[in-house]
Amino acid sequence: MSKVAIITGGGSGLGQATAVRLAQEGINIVVVDVSEKGGNETVVMVKEIGVDSIFVKADVSKPEDVKNYVDQTVSHFGTIDYFFNNAGISGSGKFFLDTTLEEINQIVGINLLGALYGVRYVAEVMLKNGGGSIVNTASSAGVIGQDSVVTYSATKHGIVGLTKSMVAEYAKDGLRVNAIAPGPTETPMVKTFYEANPEMKKNATGGIPQKRLGTPEEVAELVTFLLTSKAEYINGEVIRIDGGFTNTK
């Protein structure tokens, strides 16, 4: 029987690249995104590879939307084996005291509460079925401090805490939870951020020892390994994939 993966933020960037990569492994994909256009585009890409896929529209900051995408997955596929808990936004790039309370609430709602809700409902299903594997998307800003992304960084540090603490509670029950910490990566979200803050792209690229941004496909390889690998003793880790960026900090 084919395995089943849920991917939030699956309509573009890391989520879309990972959907395609997992589909190449014969895994059925539930694409979750707030964008119907992007989500349905990913479904088409995945189905062309030869696996089953559905799209569920969701604003992950709303717990009822999160419960719905979990319920829709169980209704259609019967189980959840893998979860790429990936949806997120970066924010405006302003210094913290120049950001609005609305922006703070939006970033926390999507990046942190959305991730918490996702793990809450997905893990419930996984544990009933004997376990599963989760990869949460943190960030280089989740392992070091960075300017212009204070709220984003706070949420991504929170993702690290979520990852480690879930393992402390549920590893004994067959749950694996790891996180990735990508550095600057050529995703639509990052491109938009750098277009609004061009000096930051120059500074970021200059600070990466490999002197380039990462690609979604490179991150997708790591996520696929962490989700599906036979290396099941990897648990509670935060794997940096940033061209050496945080290694020099």
- Tens digit of pLDDT for each residue in 77-134? 999 999 999 999 999 999 999 999 999 999 999 999 999 999 999 999 999 999 999 9
Q: Are strands 4-8 and 53-57 parallel, antiparallel or unpaired?
A: unpaired
Kindly state which CATH superfamily the domain 4-241 is placed in. NAD(P)-binding Rossmann-like Domain (3.40.50.720)
Q: Whole-angstrom Cα distance, residue 46 to residue 179?
A: 24
Q: Which of 69, 152, 170, 194 is catalytic?
A: 152
Task: Look up 233 and say whether it is catalytic.
Answer: no
Strand order in the sheet with 28-33: 53-57, 28-33, 4-8, 82-85, 132-137, 175-182, 238-241
**In this predicted structure, what is the pLDDT of residue 29?**
98
Percent of all residues in the chain with a pLDDT value above 90, rounded to a whole number: 86
Structural domain spans, the chain: 4-241
Evaluate if residue 171 carries a pLDDT over 80. yes
- The whole-model pTM stands at 0.95
**Residue 181: pLDDT band by 50, 70, 90 thresholds?**
very high
User: Does residue 163 contact residue 238 with C-beta atoms inside 8 Å?
Assistant: yes
